[in-house]
Amino acid sequence: MANATATTPGTPARSRPARAEPAITAAAWGSRLLVATGATSIVSSALGVIVVPGLRGNAAERTVVLWERVSGTLGYVTMALVVALVCGAAFEVARSPRIHVVFRIASVAFAGLALALASQGLVARLHPAAALALLTAASAGVGVAGAASVRARHTRAGGFVLLALALAATCHGLAWALAGYAGEHARAGLYAAARGISTAGVALETTAHVVAVSWLTIRGRWRARVSVYLAVLVALALTIVALRAEAGPTFGGVLRAGIVDAQAHPLPYGLLAAARFLAPASLLLAASALGGDPKLLPTTAVLALAIASHARFDMPIAALMGVAAGLWLALIAADPPRT
């Protein structure tokens, strides 16, 4: 018996329908969730990194407890949003045929490892060894995503930002571990080396900010450029106020405690002022990127997530922010720009 699907002479053969490619960053939920997560992470980071540490010792206990609760609540909300971003992006990366299989496997593997390690931070403070493992996994995942993104022209700048942040986070973690070992064993030479590595980390993070500012001012409209310039000027003004202020229950005292006194050790050589400037600059620049040119979304939202992480991948939320930014930028790189 002849096959039912066989064609008769003179009848054109029916072509099989093309296999639909998986939707990637064009998905509406991805762009909206990126914007929502970016906005929440900026507010949560500002409270957890600058405001709450600055209030301790400078405000009444009742005020400190109130803002700690607000910061903790926003932290949990941010964590939930970032986990959703990581899981959704990892699923899309795993099934995207436009991303090389090596990048797919490495990105998903490091994202899963970082997610597993960061989940422990929801119930208790991470052990130093676990924090270093989280930093290593997140840095590797962000670095792999950055390497995949620099191959595409429309995400090359974002890929360089991710690579610089991944290297900066690695330097911060290595400097912290080396400084701790040097302090326990009284090794002055090792501590000096740790400060040198910390200096390299600050330089790399500054490079990431410079690349992000350059891309936003070149690709964005005039309003986006003005917002970026304002973010840099306001961050500079806040840093100057923090450096000149004295400890006390004042606005300057809170800024000093949150920006100057909270500086992570070991301190870098020659770039201490730049390291302190990066704390407010990362948040303000992320906010300006998020509220910039709508036509550059979702790339600007990804940049906002990456910059707001402040390359502190030893912290669960910041680590997952970096991983999420890397996965989504890899998806944007695989999606050709629509002209």
CB 172 within 8 A of CB 264: yes
Which residues, in sequence order, are CB contacts of 228 under 8 Å at separation 6+? Answer: 213, 216, 217, 220, 285, 288, 289, 292
Distance CA 180, CA 190 (A): 10
Q: What pLDDT does residue 20 have?
A: 43
Contact 269, 199 (CB under 8 A): yes
The pLDDT value given to residue 262? 66
Q: What are phi and psi of 298, to 5 degrees?
A: -90, 10
Q: What pLDDT shows up at residue 29?
A: 61
What was the pLDDT predicted at 13?
Answer: 47
Cα three-residue angle 129-134-136, rounded to 5 degrees = 95
What pLDDT score does 208 carry?
A: 92
User: Rounded to a whole number, what is the distance in angstroms from the first to the last CA of the chain?
Assistant: 51
Report the C-alpha gap between 73 and 84 in whole angstroms. Answer: 17
pLDDT of residue 26: 42
Q: In whole angstroms, give the CA distance from residue 127 to residue 133.
A: 10
Entry pTM:
0.83
Query: For residues 135 and 314, is the Cβ–Cβ distance under 8 A?
Result: yes
Instruction: Measure the CA–CA gap between 182 and 195, rounded to whole angstroms.
Output: 11
Tell me how far CA of residue 21 lies from CA of 25, 95, 311, in angstroms: 12, 9, 34
Measured in whole angstroms, the distance separating CA 288 from the mean position of its chain's CA atoms is 15
The Cα 14–Cα 336 span in angstroms is 29
| Predicted confidence pLDDT, tens digits, the chain (339 residues) | 444 444 444 544 454 444 444 444 344 566 778 888 888 888 888 888 888 887 887 777 888 888 888 888 888 898 999 998 898 888 888 888 888 888 888 888 998 899 888 888 777 788 888 888 999 999 999 999 888 888 888 888 889 999 999 999 999 989 988 888 888 877 888 889 988 999 999 999 999 999 998 888 888 777 878 888 898 899 899 888 888 877 766 777 778 777 776 667 788 888 888 888 888 888 999 988 887 667 777 888 888 899 998 888 888 888 999 999 999 988 888 876 654
Question: For residue 271, what are its two tokens?
Answer: 């770039």
Residues whose CB falls within 8 Å of the CB of residue 290, separated by 6 or more in sequence, listed in order: 35, 38, 39, 42, 300, 301, 304
One-letter amino acid for residue 270 of the chain: G
Q: Dihedral sign for Cα 180, 185, 186, 192, please.
A: negative
